């Protein structure tokens, strides 16, 4: 069961919210914990034990860490978490999981990253006190457990409905209704992005795989690259908005995980705006501790290489992820050390990199087989004839079938629409539009089998 499941949307969430706001404020964290465990149980009924064991071990290290603030204790905790994550990733990458009946739990990477950030923040004194309740809620809260965003522990402190308020009942009710309305809007927009844009555009990419990469024309290969880019963007951005909307409905602050990345001025800026909570995690817990850019150019290059090697490994152990992360690392280093010396050139080349090179790198990200990847890239850049006849008009048929969805996606990529929503989100016409988007998405879900979110197994 995911956020785009009709039972979750129309049954579980309404019932959960009603109970959540009917019970006393001090009981709400416990309800959120129980509800989160229940949500994970519905998705991974066996592997929830794996998460529980990890949480208990880290709690023991946290107790030791809170008393001594020992680097040795911190190092042991991080090492165990990393080994645990790598072991599951390796099982998935080398088919060991299939042989021994092991599957990587949904959202394990995000769970482990939360564990590590908690241990580090506790060691630094950024966690005020060790609360078992808040620790468990932070780890398991269902809006973020499957695919992020990666919130920090202090995110829990933003919840305004966990303590008794001096406001009148009418004022409290009014505030809750405003929060629920705001969260529902974001959830509905994210659902529309997922169901009506990402899922429909995904069919084009699947059609290309069915045809065979060797049998597509160069225009269709480029169209496929852009379609996959938009598919991934709206799938993940849609999920992030749905997760943020759920968080707001429960009384938490909004977490922005995507900030118009395709209008970034460079690829390095693109990845500060794309899945920004992951980028901030790597920055704060790896790049800065290594020295960041404060120790000279060579050290900066080394630090960037470390970050991007780990980013590639985090996504998977197949060679394509190493090529993907390596290519991005090289481009970012080139932008920082060479192109940035000429602001005018940087302004032009940086934008070209985002709109041309990013879709190419997404192709590398998407295709795990090196042989298939080579064939696809030769179709995009036909320097060598692969010797297979193709229909030169195949991209026209694809545009006829999917052009409307691609056009809608391209329009929504522009920053204007985000700023327009923020400015007019309380306007009655905007509310009615979002209402229509929600029920169109529900209708589409009711008449399809649905697609899982693309980042569920990272």
Q: How far apart are CA 447 and CA 270, in angstroms?
A: 36
Note whether 417 and 411 are within 8 A (CB).
yes
- Pick the residue with more confidence: 66 or 101? 66
Q: How confident is the model at residue 384 (pLDDT cuts 50, 70, 90)?
A: low
Residue 88 confidence (pLDDT): 79
User: Which stretch of 5-14, 99-108, 384-393 has the lowest confidence by average pLDDT?
Assistant: 99-108
Residue 387 confidence (pLDDT): 60
Question: What pLDDT digit, counting tens, does each position of 264-323 carry?
Answer: 999 999 999 998 999 999 999 999 999 888 888 899 999 999 999 999 988 888 899 999
CA distances from 388 to 68, 391, 433, 435 (A): 67, 10, 47, 48
pLDDT over 70 at 78, yes or no:
yes
Residue 225 confidence (pLDDT): 95
pLDDT over 70 at 164, yes or no:
no
Residue 89 confidence (pLDDT): 77
Give residue limits of the domains in the chain: 6-166, 178-446
**Contacts of 78 by beta carbon, 8 Å cutoff, 6+ apart:** 116, 119, 120
**pLDDT mean across residues, the chain:** 87
Residue 343 confidence (pLDDT): 86
Q: How confident is the model at residue 204 (pLDDT cuts 50, 70, 90)?
A: very high
Other CB atoms within 10 Å distance of the CB of residue 69: 13
* pTM, to two decimals: 0.89
Q: How confident is the model at residue 92 (pLDDT cuts 50, 70, 90)?
A: low
pLDDT over 70 at 219, yes or no:
yes
Q: How confident is the model at residue 101 (pLDDT cuts 50, 70, 90)?
A: low
Question: What pLDDT digit, counting tens, does each position of 407-438 carry?
Answer: 999 999 998 888 888 898 889 999 999 999 99
Percent of the chain with pLDDT over 70: 91
CA distances from 58 to 54, 304, 458 (A): 6, 29, 21
């Amino acid at each position: 069961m995911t956020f785009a499941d009709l039972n979750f949307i129309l049954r579980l969430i309404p019932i959960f919210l009603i109970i959540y706001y009917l019970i006393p404020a001090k009981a709400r964290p416990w309800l959120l914990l129980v509800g989160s465990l229940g949500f994970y149980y519905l998705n991974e009924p066996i592997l929830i034990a794996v998460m529980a064991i990890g949480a208990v071990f880290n709690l023991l290290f946290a107790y030791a860490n809170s008393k001594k603030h020992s680097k040795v204790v911190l190092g042991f905790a991080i090492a165990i978490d990393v080994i645990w994550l790598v072991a599951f990733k390796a099982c998935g990458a080398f088919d060991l999981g299939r042989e021994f009946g092991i599957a990587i739990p949904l959202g394990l990477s995000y769970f482990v990253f939360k564990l590590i950030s908690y241990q580090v923040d506790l060691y630094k004194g950024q966690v005020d006190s060790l609360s078992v309740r808040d620790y468990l809620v932070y780890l398991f809260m269902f809006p973020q457990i499957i695919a992020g965003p990666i919130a920090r522990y202090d995110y829990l402190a933003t919840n305004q409905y966990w303590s008794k308020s001096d406001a009148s009942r009418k004022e409290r009710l009014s505030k809750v209704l405003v929060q629920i309305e705001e969260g529902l809007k974001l959830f509905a927009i994210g659902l529309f992005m997922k169901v009506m844009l990402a899922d429909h555009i995904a069919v084009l990419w699947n059609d290309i795989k069915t045809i065979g990469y060797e049998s597509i024309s160069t225009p269709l290969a480029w169209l496929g690259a852009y379609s996959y880019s938009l598919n991934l963007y709206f799938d993940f951005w849609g999920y992030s908005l749905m997760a943020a909307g759920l968080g707001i409905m429960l009384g938490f602050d909004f977490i922005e995980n995507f900030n118009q990345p395709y209008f970034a001025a460079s690829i390095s800026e693109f990845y500060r705006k794309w899945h920004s909570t992951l980028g901030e995690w790597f920055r704060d817990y790896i790049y800065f501790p290594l020295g960041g850019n404060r120790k000279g150019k060579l050290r900066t290059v080394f630090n960037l290489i470390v970050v991007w090697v780990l980013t590639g490994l985090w996504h998977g152990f197949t060679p394509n992820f190493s090529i993907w992360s390596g290519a991005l690392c090289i481009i970012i280093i080139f932008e920082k050390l060479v192109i940035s010396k000429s602001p005018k050139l940087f302004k032009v080349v940086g934008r070209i990199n985002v709109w041309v090179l990013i879709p190419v790198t997404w192709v590398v990200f998407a295709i795990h087989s090196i042989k298939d990847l080579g064939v696809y890239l030769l179709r995009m850049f036909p320097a060598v004839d692969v010797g297979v006849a193709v229909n030169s008009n195949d991209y026209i048929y694809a545009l006829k079938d999917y052009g409307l969805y691609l056009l809608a996606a391209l329009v929504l990529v522009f920053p204007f629409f985000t700023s327009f929503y923020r400015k007019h989100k309380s306007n009655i016409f905007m509310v009615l539009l979002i209402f229509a988007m929600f029920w169109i998405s529900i209708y589409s879900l009711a008449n399809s089998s649905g697609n899982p979110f693309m980042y569920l197994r990272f």
